[in-house]
Amino acid sequence: MVIFFLQVRGYLPTIYQLQYGRTPDVGPWITTFNKRSLKHYKMKEVNVGLEQTHRMLSDFFQYFLAFNFSKMVVCPFLGREVLRSKLKYSMPARCREFIGKITFKKNTVAIQDLVHLNHNKGAKIAKRVLDHFLKRCRLELNGLFKT
């Protein structure tokens, strides 16, 4: 989720960009990445001072508090939210037959794997765990990051 958040905010490139021009090396999957600097992708730099870190964490918590987990997929391949119902059609043709409806539609949380695009890394996250995460996000925003 951190990688995805940094992609959404322009600090990391998408997996699509990192694998552009590469060919599948394990079935339909590409398991290697282009070795280019973040400057090549025109990414913003992350400031690591205390104030900037607090601001970034606050933004992270706010982002996921507003995230519609029931309808959307955390999709690092594209670096943006994708409707669960549209995920299959947003993936490369080489992967479409492997993106099953069950994997992403029936789970509480849908977090796409970085390489195996049909694997839901959030499949085992129960609703109560998601609710606890969101509660912690709210608490952090109302406590630690309140100015």
pLDDT digits (tens, 9 = 90+) for 71-94: 999 999 999 999 998 988 898 888
pTM of the model: 0.89
Cβ atoms of residues 108 and 69 within 8 Å: yes
Q: Dmax of the chain from CA atoms? A: 51
Predicted local confidence at residue 93, as pLDDT: 85
> CATH code for 2-142?
1.10.1410.10
Cβ atoms of residues 47 and 57 within 8 Å: no
Q: In angstroms, rounded to a whole number, what is the distance separating the alpha carbons of residues 24 and 52?
A: 39
Predicted local confidence at residue 101, as pLDDT: 55
Q: In angstroms, rounded to a whole number, what is the distance separating the alpha carbons of residues 68 and 96?
A: 23
Percent of the chain with pLDDT over 90: 67
Predicted local confidence at residue 98, as pLDDT: 74
Reported as a single tens digit per residue, the pLDDT across 94-107 is 887 777 655 788 89
- What average pLDDT does the structure give for the chain? 91
Q: Tokens for 141? A: 């925003």
* 55 CA to centre of own chain: 19
